[in-house]
């Protein structure tokens, strides 16, 4: 296998998707009524709810009575210095986001149809679901008072905003007519276990000086977390360079302390092991775990398809999972009062019991798998603070019980909120529906309960890895559809918006041929009742 | 005028609807995905291109040829079988995508002969075959992990497992090569590990053991294998790997004039595939191999004779073990479809396999293990010796069939008599 160079450094998507905001100047103190201005037949109102969370409303002159309430995704609650490799700089902001990413095309399309849009920037960043739900409830009241023509509120949101949206649908069906949690985070436990496993794997295999949690209080803890980010991206950079130099047997980073016997296994296999044991997908923005450069010998092509491409996918996705792990762990430990990640009882061999048969070449066969697992089994584990874990459990979680139409949409290969998040809400709703159906039958009611949940998936194409003329992977192309975090097209967002409006007007989700036509036109949206996304690893996936 | 037109249209619409409902009532009440009054749609994923494709890429066409033969002779209860082949290049991710395509786009009734352990593991995990109730007949892999009925309730294996194969080879080694220095070259994944576990359980100790990771096989790596085997003085070498690894192993050994007694596993010993990979078949001369089927050249065998005739008319491919296997998968499938009856449903097909599958006619010499509690196909092998043309004959002149299981059960010599080939190769079972 010849060496190759990645045409461009792997880039992080978590940061960019979190931070693509519309920057507007908004009040930061509570106001009884918003400050509104009208231009070009659109009234734009800015204000702050009683918790000082800034909001933004945009209402067209021909307002039809339905408003879209958008909840934005996770934004770190601490700044990230510009010098941190791979991550760029980030300043904490609570700029309101009335539609996904503040996208002007989406705003224009909705306002053009007579819909209003609004969104809060929330008062606190980081994991803020409980306070954000209260903020949104208040915001709905403010909007209705300001625009008395309002008849319906539909909620949508990305990532953490998807979590908030699902919770709104479950807790406030009186306020919201329909809801669309998108690329949603579900319950914190499984989500942070995935991120924690990924970070612990990177620490254990590649740099044991990564703290990985249990951060100190105050400024010292902040410094530790930022230090971890630097170390994680230094490891990612070292692995990237090693694979570029020798894709078949890339060296281990200099910071790794694994014994020589383990170093005899290519470091790329450790990357794949981390992805598999934590549940991070092996399809990333640019690597499909299937393609090989044209013109190489058949055996080399097989090795590239099944060993090198998956390792590069793992590398690209783990960068995002680890960034989430550092930033969210730091944030949640502050909220919970101690370490939250615990893998003292985790059986990583059981986690990959099936996957090891799917990826034997990537894992350097049974002996490679055995070696990596035995090292993990003997490695020091992370222990959580039970009080902190108990506190974490008091934060809002999803019941899955919705009485209004909801539309779920995500990519199974999302590296941050992996498809298992959406699947867990699907599973919970299925259990709830089954329970209701059993109760109906017991009560002599023959009709099945209404299905309020429309589940959609954004699958990645079969093949999408691109190669340069020299045969090196080309990562300059935009991320493939169905990969990356919340990587939806405008047409997909608008299809969701249309379906939300239909659901709000009709009290049920779009179905049948009309649904399929809508999905086909939007592209890369699949309705498949039989599909079950891989479940979160801590939930048995 | 407007009202009159509307009435006309209403009348026309009502007539169309009525005709439609008449048509609907004439269709079987059990209408099932992939089944119409005149067709049954089946699907298979396998490597048609890529490194793993030589040999395997013949299986689909051979099945299809057999189905065409059946279709030309009345089909299955009047329905013609359509087989859709999808190239997964042996990539698990592609297997998932292609299987989804078969299910969601092509809307096949069942999968038949999906190939590859990693591939089917990935498909089973990601596509939800069990949840969808989709029958997966005759998996083309010997991984014993699939023989767990409650985990794979809609799937049925066909090949004896790698563990069964290793147990039988172990018995053969004890009976024929006691005291010799033993070597083993095995694929370092579930394939070889399945075998390794069985060898260990059987008490066979190898003096030299060489694992290789699939994808790394080449003349250069084979050089290191041969060096290790020769240095260890291995007099009998068992090989458990794919044909793309057999080829460099035997070629390098021949060039180095290293000539142990080869025992080649059933997966990696197809002469035509070796030839296609540039290895003279003469290197196979004297090699031993566990075999489930008769030689594809044995025209005294009623199955081989019939399949060769079908192949010459409908397929025109060089007739080898892969073609024989593909034809036999077709034969098994047709019996399963017939056993499920004219009111074909997915559940009915699975039930038919469970209740009648063990009686199906099949070219392989060993019994079929299907039952309500077992999804295991064939359960045994005989040992064969290969000639200078790559043809094989039973070791010792006659077929001595060994049967066993994938667990701790004994290896026994069996007197099982396989069912006769249905007349003209056309099953009439029900």
User: Do B201 and B251 fall within a single domain?
Assistant: yes
Mutation for testing the A interface, residue in B87, B91, B277 having most A CBs under 10 Å: B91
Q: Is the pLDDT of residue B2 over 90?
A: no
Determine, yes or no, domain membership for A254. yes
Determine, yes or no, domain membership for A170. yes
Determine, yes or no, domain membership for B402. no
Q: Is the pLDDT of residue A301 over 70?
A: yes
Segments in B34-138 forming alpha helices (H)? 59-72, 92-100, 117-127, 129-132
Rounded to an integer, the average pLDDT of A398-418 is 97
Average pLDDT value for chain A: 92
Average pLDDT value for chain B: 90
Contacts of A526 in chain B (CB under 8 A): 104
Contacts of A283 in chain B (CB under 8 A): 93
- Cβ–Cβ < 8 Å for B394, B383: yes
Residue ending a domain, choose from A356, A391, A426:
A391
Determine, yes or no, domain membership for B32. no
Among the partner-chain residues A283, A301, A364, the one whose CB lies closest to the CB of B50 is A301
CB–CB contact B125 A358 (8 Å) = yes
Determine, yes or no, domain membership for A356. yes
Mutation for testing the B interface, residue in A247, A281, A293, A302 having most B CBs under 10 Å: A302
Determine, yes or no, domain membership for B416. no
DSSP B128-183: -HHHHT--EEEEB---GGG--TTTSTTEEE-SPPHHHHHHHHHHHHHHH-TTS-EE
* Chain B nearest C-alpha distance from A514 (Å): 18
User: Do B247 and B192 fall within a single domain?
Assistant: yes
Q: How far is CA B282 from the centre of its chain?
A: 26
* Chain B nearest C-alpha distance from A179 (Å): 27
Determine, yes or no, domain membership for A3. no
User: Do A126 and A224 fall within a single domain?
Assistant: no
Residue ending a domain, choose from A338, A363, A391:
A391
Contacts of A359 in chain B (CB under 8 A): 92, 118
Determine, yes or no, domain membership for B297. no
Contacts of A301 in chain B (CB under 8 A): 50-51
User: Do A452 and A350 fall within a single domain?
Assistant: no
The confidence band for A494, taking pLDDT boundaries of 50, 70 and 90, is very high
Contacts of A361 in chain B (CB under 8 A): 189, 213-215
CA distance B241 to B243: 7
Question: How many domains is chain A partitioned into structurally?
Answer: 2
User: Do A18 and A158 fall within a single domain?
Assistant: yes
Question: How many domains is chain B partitioned into structurally?
Answer: 3
Q: Which residue of A has its CA nearest to B116?
A: A358
- In this predicted model, which residue has the larger pLDDT, A289 or B243? A289
Q: Is the pLDDT of residue A23 over 70?
A: no
- What is the extent of the structural domain holding A463? 14-187+397-539
User: Do B155 and B65 fall within a single domain?
Assistant: yes
Q: What is the ipTM of this complex?
A: 0.85
By the 10 Å C-beta count (0-12 exposed, 13-18 middle, 19+ buried), B149 is classed as middle
B141 touches chain A (CB under 8 A): no
Return the SS3 of B282.
helix
List, in sequence order, every residue forming a beta bridge with B155; answer none if it has no partner.
B136
Q: Is the pLDDT of residue A5 over 50?
A: no
pLDDT in tens, B303-315: 999 999 999 999 9
Determine, yes or no, domain membership for A7. no
User: Do A307 and A401 fall within a single domain?
Assistant: no
pLDDT in tens, B65-104: 999 999 999 999 999 999 999 999 999 999 999 999 999 9
User: Do A270 and A338 fall within a single domain?
Assistant: yes
List the Cα angle A240/A243/A244 in 5-degree steps: 85
The confidence band for A30, taking pLDDT boundaries of 50, 70 and 90, is low
Quick one: which H or E segment has residue A178? strand A178-182
Q: What is the pairing mode between strands A406-410 and A152-158?
A: unpaired
Among the partner-chain residues A361, A526, A528, the one whose CB lies closest to the CB of B213 is A361
CB–CB contact A364 B213 (8 Å) = yes
The confidence band for B26, taking pLDDT boundaries of 50, 70 and 90, is very low
CB–CB contact B51 A301 (8 Å) = yes
User: Residue B322: which residues within 8 A CB-CB, separation 6 or more?
Assistant: B55, B56, B58, B59, B62, B270, B273
Rounded to an integer, the average pLDDT of B102-119 is 95
The lowest-confidence range among A87-96, A430-439, B249-258 is: A87-96
pLDDT in tens, A410-468: 999 999 999 999 999 999 999 999 999 999 999 999 899 999 999 999 999 999 999 99
Tell me the CATH number at B180: 3.40.50.2300
User: Do A212 and A262 fall within a single domain?
Assistant: yes
Query: What single-letter DSSP state applies at residue A236?
Result: H
Determine, yes or no, domain membership for A2. no
User: Do A217 and A300 fall within a single domain?
Assistant: yes
Residue ending a domain, choose from A391, A407, A425:
A391
B143 touches chain A (CB under 8 A): yes
User: Do A421 and A370 fall within a single domain?
Assistant: no
* Chain B nearest C-alpha distance from A521 (Å): 17
3-state secondary structure A423-447: HHHHHHHHHHHHHHHHHHHHCCCCC
Q: Which residue of A has its CA nearest to B87?
A: A462
Q: Is the pLDDT of residue A14 over 60?
A: no
- What is the extent of the structural domain holding B326? 39-160+319-378
Determine, yes or no, domain membership for B366. yes
Rounded to an integer, the average pLDDT of B231-247 is 93
Q: Is the pLDDT of residue A25 over 80?
A: no
Determine, yes or no, domain membership for B336. yes
pLDDT in tens, B152-193: 999 999 999 999 999 999 999 999 999 999 999 999 988 888
Q: Which residue of A has its CA nearest to B94?
A: A462
What is the structure's pLDDT at B399? Answer: 96
**Among A189, A71, A91, residue whose Cα is nearest residue A132:** A71
User: Do A530 and A449 fall within a single domain?
Assistant: yes
């Amino acid at each position: 296998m010849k060496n190759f160079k990645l045409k461009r450094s792997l880039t992080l998507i978590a940061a960019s998707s979190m931070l693509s905001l519309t920057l507007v100047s908004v009040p930061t103190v509570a106001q009884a009524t918003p400050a509104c201005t009208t231009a070009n037949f659109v009234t734009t109102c800015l204000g702050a709810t009683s918790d000082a969370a800034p909001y933004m409303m945009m209402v067209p002159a021909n307002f039809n009575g339905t408003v879209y309430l958008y909840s934005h995704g996770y934004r770190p609650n601490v700044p990230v210095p510009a010098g941190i490799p791979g991550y760029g700089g980030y300043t904490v902001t609570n700029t309101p986001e009335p539609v996904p990413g503040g996208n002007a095309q989406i705003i224009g399309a909705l306002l053009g149809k007579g819909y209003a849009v609004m969104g809060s920037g929330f008062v606190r960043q980081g994991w803020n679901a409980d306070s954000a739900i209260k903020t949104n409830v208040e915001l709905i009241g403010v909007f209705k008072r300001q625009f008395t023509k309002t008849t319906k509120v539909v909620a949508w949101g990305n990532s953490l905003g998807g979590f908030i949206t699902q919770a709104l649908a479950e807790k406030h069906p009186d306020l919201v007519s329909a809801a669309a949690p998108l690329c949603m985070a579900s319950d914190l436990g499984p989500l942070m276990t995935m991120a924690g496993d990924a970070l612990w794997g990177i620490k254990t295999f590649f740099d044991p000086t990564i703290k990985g949690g249990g951060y100190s209080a105050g400024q010292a803890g902040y410094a530790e977390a930022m230090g971890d980010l630097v170390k994680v991206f230094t490891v990612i950079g070292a692995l990237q360079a090693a694979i570029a130099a020798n894709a078949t047997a890339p060296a281990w980073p200099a910071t790794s302390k694994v014994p020589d016997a383990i170093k005899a296994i290519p470091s790329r296999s450790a990357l794949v092991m981390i992805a598999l044991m934590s549940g991070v997908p092996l399809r990333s923005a640019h690597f499909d775990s299937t393609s090989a450069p044209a013109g190489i010998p058949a055996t080399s092509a097989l090795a590239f398809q099944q060993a090198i491409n998956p390792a590069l996918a793992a590398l690209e996705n783990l960068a995002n999972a680890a960034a989430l792990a550092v930033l969210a762990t730091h944030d949640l430990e502050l909220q919970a009062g101690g370490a939250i990640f615990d893998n003292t009882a985790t059986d990583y061999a059981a986690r990959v019991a099936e996957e090891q048969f799917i990826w034997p070449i990537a894992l350097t066969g049974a002996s490679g798998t055995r070696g990596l697992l035995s090292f993990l089994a003997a490695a020091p584990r992370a222990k959580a603070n039970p009080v902190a874990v108990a506190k974490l459990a008091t934060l809002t979680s999803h019941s899955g019980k919705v009485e209004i139409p909801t539309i779920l949409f995500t990519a199974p290969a999302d590296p941050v909120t992996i498809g298992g998040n959406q699947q867990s809400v699907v599973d919970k709703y299925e259990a709830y529906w089954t329970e209701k159906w059993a109760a109906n039958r017991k009560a002599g009611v023959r009709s099945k309960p209404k299905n309020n949940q429309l589940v959609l998936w954004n699958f990645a194409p079969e093949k999408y890895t691109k190669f340069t003329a020299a045969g090196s992977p080309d990562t300059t192309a935009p991320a493939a559809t169905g990969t990356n975090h919340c990587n939806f097209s405008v047409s997909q967002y608008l299809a969701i918006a249309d379906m939300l409006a239909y659901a709000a007007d009709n009290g049920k989700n779009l179905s049948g041929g009309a649904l399929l036509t809508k999905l086909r036109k939007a592209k890369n949206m699949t309705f498949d009742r039989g599909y079950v996304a891989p479940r979160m690893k801590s939930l048995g996936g | 005028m407007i009202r009159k037109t509307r009435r006309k249209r209403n009348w026309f619409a009502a007539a169309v609807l009525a005709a439609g409902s008449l048509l609907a009532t004439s269709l079987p009440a059990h209408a099932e995905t992939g089944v119409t009054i005149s067709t049954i749609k089946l699907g298979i994923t396998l490597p048609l291109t890529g490194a793993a494709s030589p040999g395997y890429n013949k299986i689909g066409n051979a099945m299809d040829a057999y189905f065409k033969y059946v279709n030309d002779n009345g089909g299955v209860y009047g329905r013609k079988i359509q087989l859709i082949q999808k190239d997964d290049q042996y990539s698990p991710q592609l297997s998932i995508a292609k299987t989804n395509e078969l299910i969601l786009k092509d809307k096949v009734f069942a999968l038949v002969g999906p190939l590859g352990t990693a591939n089917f593991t990935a498909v089973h995990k990601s596509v939800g075959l069990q949840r969808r109730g989709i029958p997966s007949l005759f998996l083309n892999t010997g991984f014993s992990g699939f023989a767990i009925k409650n985990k794979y309730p809609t799937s049925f294996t066909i090949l004896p497992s790698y563990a069964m194969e290793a147990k039988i080879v172990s018995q053969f080694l004890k009976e024929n090569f006691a005291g010799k220095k033993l070597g083993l070259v095995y694929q370092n994944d579930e394939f070889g590990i399945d075998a390794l576990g069985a060898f260990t359980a059987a008490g066979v100790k190898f003096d030299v053991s060489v694992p290789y990771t699939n994808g790394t096989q080449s003349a250069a790596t084979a050089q290191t294998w041969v060096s290790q085997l020769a240095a260890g003085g291995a007099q009998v070498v068992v090989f458990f790997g794919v044909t793309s690894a057999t080829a460099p192993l035997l070629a390098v050994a021949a060039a180095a004039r290293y000539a142990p007694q080869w025992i080649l596993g059933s997966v990696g010993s197809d002469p035509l595939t070796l030839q296609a990979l540039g290895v003279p078949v003469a290197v196979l001369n004297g090699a031993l191999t566990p075999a489930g089927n008769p030689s594809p050249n044995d025209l005294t065998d009623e199955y081989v004779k019939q399949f060769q005739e079908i192949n010459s008319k409908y397929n025109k491919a060089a007739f080898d073990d892969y073609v024989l296997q593909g034809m036999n998968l077709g034969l098994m499938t047709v019996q399963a479809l017939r056993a499920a009856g004219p009111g074909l449903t997915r559940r009915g097909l699975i039930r038919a396999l469970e209740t009648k599958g063990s009686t199906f006619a099949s070219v392989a010499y060993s019994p079929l293990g299907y039952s309500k509690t077992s999804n295991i196909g064939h359960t045994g092998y005989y040992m064969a010796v290969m000639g200078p043309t790559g043809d094989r004959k039973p070791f010792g002149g006659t077929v001595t069939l060994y049967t066993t299981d994938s667990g701790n059960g004994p290896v026994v010599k069996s007197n099982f008599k396989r069912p006769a080939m249905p007349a003209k190769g056309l099953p009439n079972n029900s």
